[in-house]
Structure formats: structure tokens, C-alpha cells
């Protein structure tokens, strides 16, 4: 369980600064350096750097939607992130792993949302991971943070709850 609201706010701010800070710096570098030099690959061709301005959501989902629909989705995501922040601040019974997973999802979403507002609805993506013939779509560090957050939530839900972690559920079950 996460301790006080103040500690939760400090952790949320640290996750935001680290996640969005790194994401925005790497996006800036991608726009300036990849825009100037072109695509690049690390030795072994495991990671490729290629500049893409994405009008859609994760993996370009919705990129072909009309502008009005994409704008409506941006508004919905904004409200969803605001509700997620309120939940993170007010939910004292979350496990630490779940809390950090949700905080990573929130911070990554907020960083991509910042791009949408600052770059006329576009998000800068720049990395592709390749393993043999398999490869990811083009993504950025905010997307990576979101995926790690989701994996943390899944891992947390697969672990049996500790005794006393959900006192309300125990009361209801026994009485």
C-alpha cells in the first residue's frame, strides 16, 4: 500500500519529471538529429531510429480518422488522464507496483498529450525494435513507459493479495 497523499504526490511528480523529461528530450533529439541525418541503426540492427510524426494513437491507431474525431479523442484522453491522476492521489489502498504502473501510464500519456497540443495533433515517434523478421511499430519513450506500466499492472494482478491488503473485502466475506 502507498503511504500518505503527500508521498503519493511526490512519487507522481518524480515519475512525471523522469518519464516526460526523458521523453521530451529524446523526441527533440529525434526531430533535430534524425531530421538532419536520416535513419540510423545500432550495431546488430536490433534498434532502428527513424523519425515519424504520428497523428494517431498507439501504433498509429486512428491516424486515418477525420480531424474532428481525432480532436474528440484528444479531449477524451485529457479527461481520462485527469481522472487517473485523481485516482492516484486518492487511492491509498493500491499496491506499490500497481501505483507505479498507473503513474507510468499517466506520465507517458501526459507526455504524448503535451506533444499533441504543442505539435498540432502530432506525436513524435522514433524507435523500432527488430528481432529477426519481427519488429515493433515506431514508438517513443512515453509509449515504452505506458507499456511498462501496463505490464506492472498485469504482474501485480497475477500475485495473490497479501492478507490485510483489502480490509473491506475481508469484512464483507466474513460477515
The yes-or-no answer on residue 143 being catalytic is yes
- How many CB atoms are located within 10 Å of the residue 157 CB? 12
Q: Residue 39, Cβ neighbours under 10 Å: how many?
A: 11
Catalytic residue chosen out of the listed positions 23, 115, 120, 143: 143
Instruction: Tell me, yes or no, if 39 is annotated catalytic.
Output: no
Q: How many residues does the chain have?
A: 175
In degrees, to the nearest 5, what angle opens at C-alpha 119 toward C-alphas 117 and 123? Answer: 90
Q: What is the DSSP string of 19-72?
A: HHHHHHHHHHHIIIIIHHH--EE-TTSSEEEEEEEE-SSGGGTTTTS-HHHHHH
Q: Which residues are catalytic?
A: 125, 143
Amino acid at each position: 500500500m502507498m503511504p500518505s497523499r503527500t508521498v503519493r504526490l511526490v512519487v507522481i511528480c518524480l515519475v512525471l519529471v523522469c518519464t516526460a523529461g526523458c521523453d521530451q528530450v529524446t523526441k527533440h533529439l529525434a526531430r533535430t538529429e534524425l531530421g538532419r541525418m536520416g535513419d540510423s541503426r545500432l550495431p546488430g540492427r536490433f534498434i532502428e531510429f527513424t523519425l515519424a510524426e504520428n497523428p494517431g494513437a498507439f501504433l498509429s491507431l486512428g491516424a486515418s480518422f477525420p480531424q474532428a474525431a481525432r480532436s474528440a479523442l484528444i479531449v477524451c484522453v485529457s479527461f481520462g488522464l485527469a481522472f487517473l491522476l485523481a485516482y492516484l492521489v486518492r487511492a491509498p489502498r493500491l499496491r506499490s507496483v500497481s501505483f507505479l504502473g498507473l503513474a507510468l501510464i499517466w506520465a507517458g500519456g501526459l507526455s504524448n498529450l503535451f506533444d499533441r497540443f504543442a505539435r498540432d495533433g502530432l506525436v513524435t515517434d522514433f524507435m523500432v525494435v527488430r528481432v529477426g523478421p519481427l519488429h515493433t511499430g515506431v514508438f517513443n519513450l512515453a509509449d515504452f513507459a505506458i507499456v511498462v506500466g501496463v505490464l506492472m499492472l498485469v504482474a501485480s494482478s497475477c500475485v495473490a493479495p497479501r492478507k490485510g491488503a483489502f480490509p473491506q473485502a475481508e469484512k464483507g466475506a466474513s460477515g
